[in-house]
Amino acid sequence: MTKLSVNINKFATLRNARGGNVPDVLKAALDCERFGAQGITVHPRPDERHIRYRDVRDIKPLIHNEFNIEGNPIPSFIDLVLEVKPAQVTLVPDAHDAITSNAGWNTLRYKNELTEWSGIFRKAGIRTSIFVDPDPEMIYGAARAGADRVELYTEAYARMYLQNRGKAIEPYVSAALAARQAGLGLNAGHDLNLENLNYFYSNIPGLLEVSIGHALICEAIYLGLENTIQMYLRQLSDF
SS in 3 state form for the chain?
A: CCEEEEECHHHHHHHHHHCCCCCCHHHHHHHHHHCCCCEEEECCCCCCCCCCHHHHHHHCCCCCCEEEEEECCCHHHHHHHHHHCCCEEEECCCCCCCCCCCCCCCCCCCHHHHHHHHHHHHHCCCEEEEEECCCHHHHHHHHHCCCCEEEEECHHHHHHCCCCHHHHHHHHHHHHHHHHHHCCEEEEECCCCCCCHHHHHHHCCCEEEEEECHHHHHHHHHHCHHHHHHHHHHHCCCC
User: Active site residue: 66, 70, 151, 209, which one?
Assistant: 70
Query: 94 falls in which pLDDT band (50, 70, 90)?
Result: confident
State yes or no: pLDDT of 101 exceeds 90: no
Residue 43 appears among annotated catalytic residues: yes
The domain segmentation of the chain, as residue ranges, is 3-235
- How far apart CA 233 and CA 209 sit, in angstroms, is 11
Distance separating alpha carbons of residues 108 and 137, to the nearest angstrom: 8
- Give the integer Cα–Cα distance in Å for 15 and 2: 30
Written out in words, the top-level CATH class of the domain with range 3-235 is alpha beta
**pTM of the predicted structure, to 2 decimals:** 0.95
Active site residue 190: yes
Residue 132 pLDDT greater than 60, yes or no: yes
Tell me which of 33, 190, 209, 219 is the catalytic residue: 190
Catalytic residue among 43, 50, 151, 209: 43
Give residue 103's pLDDT: 82
pLDDT above 70: percentage of residues in the chain: 96
> What is the per-residue pLDDT across 50-91, written as a single tens digit (0 to 9) for each?
999 999 999 999 999 999 999 999 999 999 999 999 999 999
Q: Is the pLDDT of residue 99 over 60?
A: no
